[in-house]
Amino acid sequence: MSDQVQAPLPQGAGYGVVVGFGVAFALGMIWVTRSLRISFNEDNKSTETFMVANRTVGTGLTASAVVSSWLYSTALLGASLLTYKYGLALGVWWGASASTMVCFLSLISIEAKRRAPNAHTLLELIRVRYGTAAHLIWIVFCLLTNILNFSSMLLGASAAVTSLTGMNVIASTYLLPVGVGVYTYFGGLRATFLTDYIHTFIIMIILAWVTIKIIVVKEIGSIGALYNAVTAADKIHPVQGNYGGSHLTMRSEQCLYFGILHVISNFGAVIMDTGFWQKGFSADVASAVPGYVLGGIASFSVPWAIGTFGGLAAVALESTDIFPTYPRMMTAEEVTSGLVLPYVVQAVAGKAGAGALLVTIFMACTSIASAQMIAISSIISFDIYGTYFNKNATDKQLITWSHIGVVATSLVIPTLATAFNKGGVDMTWLLYMVGNITNPGCIPTVFALLWKGQTKAAAVVSPLVGVCCSLSVWLGTTYAYFGEISVASTGSTMPCLFGCVTAFFVPLPITVIVSLVRPTSFDWSAFTKQIHKVRRPEQDRTEADQHSTEEWVAPEMKRYMKRMSRWAAFWTVFTLLGHIFLWPLAMYGAKIVFSKSLFTAWIVVSLIYLWFTLVVANFYPLYDGGARKIWIVLCGQVTPEASSKSEPQQDTSGYSSEGPPKNARVEAKVLPAS
């Protein structure tokens, strides 16, 4: 944050957006939640609705929520600042780190539905399979993942809001999550999906406008002129470690290092983030794989396009009089705080651009904040209170503690982010180091669902050894490189890279070796026998007990889910090969600086991809049943499910011929959480 650059907008604009929009969304989501309860019997006072949206979310809304999950203010700001520092290869690496992990989650999601159809959180699976010790370890890992991700996002967003409006940074840090906390408190995960969609709708339109505005601004004027300006700037300030010192090459050492670091870090950020698992649990059976795959592929374009446009525009415009810092260059503090994109938008679009970006940052921040609040509150209510303090917790008690978790999160995380800010820790530092903390749990978590041979001892030992090794390597490498342990040195690329890789790979041989020393074979049916839906007060216990002894799914549905699991595995491998090995890695081997024609094609394709994402996130959910439901709500109609006051059932009316057979049904095991 710079005190030398005058904010383009008044403080009133910052408070108006942060507080006013927050209140507006809160009131709007309260009304929507009430309308859904009337029209569709979506009872937000039910744990099944609050935590997993009754497991009936369709493909379009799932895909939109996935895209929204990667519209971090960190991604928008970080991709731009790192492209400014290291070149256009960065955007591709960032996009790859998002898309590959989300497509992998399609496999995790369908396998979770096959083996634990009534699960509410990842931690339930760990408790049933490995017991109390592992459960407590995973609670710590998952809480740290959600807390660090939330804090990083809030740090970047508050710095950007302060840069654009002059609003006090501490005030913006505390006020950004307030409105989110209100509508999350009342609406739960369903409200998160709906606000994700609305936020994403607005964000994608603004991002499409910003990219066009950057190209047509008078100081640039065309794609070719942008190429000429960047080339000229590189002759004066070459990029160290890049082929030819150019921003316009895929042969960039720092981009390669960041790519490896971020791909592996995002694996931890996704697998250990219970919010992603809950979105998988909430999708209906027919939507889990296509929703995650479509959303994962679409999410690639945002960091690629916005990083490329924002970062290269900063390189081109920094020496012109429209740039906010002119005649000086941006300071290192301004860059690492994420102010590259705000300065660019201010330069090309003035106050209108600053206002649009302010809304974008607010939307991105609040969308992620809602998902993180649900994730953290579910751990507090279901995995701490419902497991260790009240094993016979009722639906109402679990909801109460979910509400307590939402309120606590909206207060604790801003306080932590403020402490980071005052301690000199910025968004970039958290972005680089988070993998050292989260990655040790990745392999054991995946094996908990995909490998029946992993033992309890292996699950307990491997992440603990992994985190000890990662912290040792991270801090030891920092001292070896810089001769000191400080905030600046520990946030550098190479120490974080070595620590992150160690954190990810060390648990793999440990868990395999320990498991093979005294091999066992886990019975997957334990998940269905011990994890049940939460029984609502009006439901008959005798009927619930009878249901709990039945097979939870028909044979036709089993075959369908097995087929979808194979498709998920295919897309996981396909995306990994395409978005990492066949694109950035292959182009890294080619020692070339982009020609003007290649650069033009690059920019055009990124724009087409960005518009594809806009269609997927904005319009496909309307086509996929959203428009019908909106019409029902606006007209005040009541569906048969709501009129009969029955518990919401899976809607199979939208299944294609390739979807689950219509006679397949999921039995509702409705026993207490214990």
Q: Name the maximum alpha-carbon separation found in the chain.
A: 78
Residue 312 in this model has a pLDDT that exceeds 50: yes
CA atoms of 567 and 561, how far apart (whole Å)? 10
Flag whether 549 is in a domain: yes
Query: What residues make up the domain containing 408?
Result: 11-418+523-643
Q: In this structure, is residue 386 part of a structural domain? A: yes
SS (H, E, C) 161-229: HHHHHCCCHHHHHHHHHHHHHHHHHHHHHHHHHHHHHHHHHHHHHHHHHHHHHHHHCCCCCCHHHHHHH
User: What are the C-alpha distances in Å from 482 to residues 282, 443, 463, 479, 555?
Assistant: 47, 31, 28, 5, 61
How many Cβ atoms sit within 10 Å of the Cβ of residue 494?
15
Residue 465 is assigned to a structural domain of this protein: no
**Is 51 part of a structural domain of the chain?**
yes
- pLDDT score of 647: 43
* 365 pLDDT higher than 90: no
- The pLDDT tens digits of the residues spanning 156-198 come to 888 888 888 888 889 988 888 887 777 676 655 555 667 778 8
Tell me the C-alpha distance between 464 and 458, whole Å: 10
- pLDDT score recorded for residue 549: 35
- Work out the pLDDT band at 503, boundaries 50, 70, 90: very high
What total number of domains does the chain contain? 1
Q: Could you tell me if 154 and 171 are in contact, meaning their C-beta atoms sit under 8 angstroms apart? A: no
Whether 482 maps to a domain, the answer reads no
User: pLDDT tens, 50-80?
Assistant: 555 556 677 877 888 788 777 777 788 888 9
Where residue 431 falls among pLDDT bands split at 50, 70, 90? Answer: confident
pLDDT band of 1, cuts 50, 70, 90? very low
CATH of the domain at 163: 1.20.1730
Cα–Cα nearest to 432, from 584, 266, 275, 272:
266
User: 157 in a domain, yes or no?
Assistant: yes
Residue carrying structure tokens 């791909």: 263
Tell me: pLDDT of 510 over 70.
yes
What are the tens digits of pLDDT across the range 88-126?
Answer: 999 999 988 888 888 888 888 888 888 887 777 888 899
- pLDDT category at 668 given cuts 50, 70, 90 is very low
Residue 437 lies in a domain: no
Whether residue 670 is contained in a domain is answered as: no
Q: Quickly state the pLDDT bin for 637 (edges 50, 70, 90).
A: low
Interval 596-635: pLDDT, tens:
999 999 999 999 999 999 999 888 888 876 556 666 655 6
Q: State the average pLDDT for the chain.
A: 82
Q: Which range is most confident: 3-12, 342-351, 363-372?
A: 342-351
The answer on pLDDT for 462 being more than 90 is: yes
- Taking CA atoms, 568 is separated from 269, 293, 357, 571, in Å, by 20, 8, 35, 5
Give the pLDDT band of residue 550 (cuts 50, 70, 90).
very low
Burial class of residue 573 in the structure, from the number of CB atoms within 10 Å of its CB (0-12 exposed, 13-18 middle, 19+ buried)? middle
Out of 137-146, 266-275, 447-456, which region has the weakest mean confidence (pLDDT)? 266-275
The CA-CA-CA angle for residues 182, 159, 211, to 5°, reads 95
Using one digit for the tens of pLDDT, what is the confidence trace for 367-387?
778 778 888 888 888 889 888
With CA atoms as reference, report the closest residue to 361 among 430, 417, 306. Answer: 306
Confidence of residue 638 (pLDDT cuts 50, 70, 90): low
